[in-house]
Amino acid sequence: MKDRYNVAIVGATGAVGQEMMDILDERNFPIGELRLLASERSAGKEIEFKGNKLTIRKLDHDCFEGIDIALFSAGSSRTKEYADSAVKAGAVVIDNSSAYRLDPEVPLIIPEINPEAINGYKQKGIIANPNCTTAVTIMALKPLHDLGKIKRVIATSFQAVSGAGAGGLRELEQQTRAWANSEESESETFPHPIAFNVIPQIDIFQDNDYTKEEMKLHNETRKILGDESINLTATTVRVPVFRAHSVSVNIETEDKITASEAREALEKFPGVRVSDDPKNAVYPMPLDAAGKDDCIVGRIREDFTIDNGLTFWVVGDQLRKGAALNAVQIAELFIKSNGQNTNGI
């Protein structure tokens, strides 16, 4: 195993790419070379990392030579176009897009939940990072599934505009300023105004009238937990919050789980923090989770309408645990478990 690893970030100028750089720095990732890759219009620009200025290179098929780990954060089309080139050059690809999440030959990993799946990368040289809302939600589901086996999940998400990238952030800010100044504003990133509004649509609608985002929650949760019997129905909603997703979750389990048992299991689970004192107005909020690594759970209560039901509220920073942090954690897991086995390492 090497002491240092050459890392590439594909989509280095985007919100997730920038967050990846911050987290690599924060966690003292053992970097030899950090190669920043982006579109032609960003090539030549400089970004500072650890006191050094790095020049962004244009993404092409020949830019992965010597790279050990390629972190992709530039969307499905970019992954499908360039991932094979990275793998052929000897890198393992950790992809933040939806391109390979449901591919049976590609592991979909949250290190706290299914680290044993890491060796599945050997089939295609690719490891998938889950959808941001899935990641936040399933961090709370896993310890409860282990405790009482979840049969059914009803989830409603309240997703921050930063989940739609820099355009979402700009749109909320511009529309808020326009409203304050009694000015007209336009909606480009979202189908309707987002300031002082909620939009019950994220991504496009499917034939079953669920959106792609809602079906990601269903399909990815089953794959990560390794249980195709779990039924999950979701409504995903965009809300005028800048950062951190919130999810209202109701579960039905095979075995009874009391609220106190749920709190204990959640408190012990790595990457989860319980904030649950509603009588004193203590519960998770996006402002609490923004910029933080842990997913925060509160409003934990037994569902009085069914025998084995629980309801709770979970909040997490979708740019960190929902994207960049989880990708870096996968890279750390890869080094620990399989780094010595790859062609390029």
What are the residue numbers of the active site?
132, 245
Amino acid identity of residue 150, one-letter, is I
Sign of CA dihedral 93, 111, 223, 309: negative
Could you tell me how many residues make up the chain?
A: 345
Q: How many CB atoms lie within 10 A of CB 54?
A: 18
**Among the listed residues 30, 39, 37, the one whose alpha carbon sits nearest the alpha carbon of residue 6:** 30
Tokens standing for 145? 């599934």
Q: What is residue 250's three-state secondary structure?
A: strand
**Among the listed residues 87, 154, 155, the one whose alpha carbon sits nearest the alpha carbon of residue 342:** 87
From residue 335, how far is each of 1, 23, 85, 124 by CA, in Å? 8, 16, 21, 17
From residue 42, how far is each of 22, 56, 213 by CA, in Å? 19, 7, 29
